[in-house]
Structure 1
Amino acid sequence: MRLIHWFRAAIVLGMIWLGWKMVSLGDNIPAKFEDFYPLHKSFGLVVIILVAVQLVLRVLVPTPALATGLSKFEAIAAKIAHVALYVLMIVVPVIGYSRSSTFSESDGVTLFGLKVPELLGKNDALSETLSSIHAVLAYTLLAVIVIHVLGALKHRIFDKNKNNDPLSRMI
């Protein structure tokens, strides 16, 4: 579970960077469409797969309970953040996949060169809407990640009760 967590975290952060990079490139730069978009789409599918595997593993192998020294607010916030992370790590790539499927100039989604079926028919108006939703939810995911990391660092650095340190359980 730890390995999947850190691998997925690296991929998601890489995806956010890749998304920023590819949209900042001009349409006249071939790498934008030949390299960046295909990689972004492939790693988006990898994120969905990793989250699905991790959710199955969470059912089969229960995760450790939250630290007992957390305040009620901290415990509720941690649970909400974890649910939000899982939901967004599924919804953001699914919306991106749907966006790519509906964009008339897209040649679909591939998983590192392997063509995967498109989810929806071509519809540029829907594609634009999905593109906006994908961007907003990607920034929302980034915000939840920042809160998640800051919470972990708060417990690691500032808490007097070192039993609250989630990093000691995750490293």
Structure 2
Amino acid sequence: MIERYPRLMRLMHWSAAALIIPTLLIGLALAFKIVRPDSPASDWWTDIHVLLGLSAFVIMLVRVIIALRSAKPPISGTRAEVLVARGAHLALYVLVIALPLSGYAGWIAYGEAPKPFGMPLPNLEPLAAFLQSKKAGEWLWPVHEYAGLGLAALLVIHVTAAFRRSWLARNSDRVDGLNRMRAGPTRPHADHHP
């Protein structure tokens, strides 16, 4: 049994966080019209949002593959706490993968793929034709926006829970919360008996 996540999983975790958080903040600023719509600034921030979102999507796909093949430290707590933690992590993974897919599909449902900074991305013609015939753009954008709000809420809960678990484990020899993702060796956990 190990105390911390393996180094590669920690690297993927912090890389994903470094992309997801600004992507989410930019998306919320665009959705709530903090940046004036149809302005050069809005276009620039939209391009950044698309590039960061697609980069986060790729990292999360790689992260899923690594997570399925890596040893992970056990989740401590009651059965209910363990189930909630697993459910929250699954929801985070689903949302972080579904958000870029719904955003991309929303673009092509309106006739063209995004072109961040003029860089054309694949239009996926058969999918585009299907989405356009179903008028999918009308519901994909709201799905994308509500999923973004859901992800923001889950991230707040996730970070709060990590800090809480770190705080509760501060006076013990147990590695928990943020300490499971911080730098340091991944060593086997020694069970302590009185």
- Which of the five TM-score ranges fits, normalised by the shorter chain? 0.7 to 0.9
In structure 1, runs of 5+ residues without a counterpart are none
The equivalent residue for 1:115 is 121
Change (3 A) 1:126 1:114: closer
Match of 1:151 in 2: 161
Residues 73-92 of structure 1: per-residue CA shift (max 9 Å, x gap)? 21111100111111111111
Deviates more, 1:24-33 or 1:82-91: 24-33
Structure (1 or 2) with the greater helix fraction: 1
Larger Rg: 2
Count of residues paired in the alignment: 166
What's the % identity of the aligned pairs?
A: 27
Structure 2 unpaired stretches of 5+: 1-8, 183-194
Partner of 2:84: 77
* Secondary structure of the structure 2 residue equivalent to 1:163: coil
| Corresponding residue of 1:19 | 27
Measured after TM superposition, the shift of residue 136 of structure 1 is: 0.7
- Cα RMSD of the aligned pairs, angstroms, is 2.2
Mapped to 2, the partners of 1:82 and 1:27 lie a distance apart of 34
Amino acid at match of 2:40: P
How has the CA–CA distance of structure 1 residues 28 and 144 changed in structure 2, closer, same or farther, with 3 Å as cutoff? Answer: closer
Q: Does the alignment pair 1:131 with 2:141?
A: yes
Are the aligned partners of 1:92 and 1:137 in contact in 2 as well (CA < 8 Å)?
yes
Deviations 1:80-126 (A, max 9, x none): 0111111111111111110011124xx42247735233442363942
Between the two structures, name the one with larger relative contact order (CA 8 Å, sep ≥ 6). Answer: 2
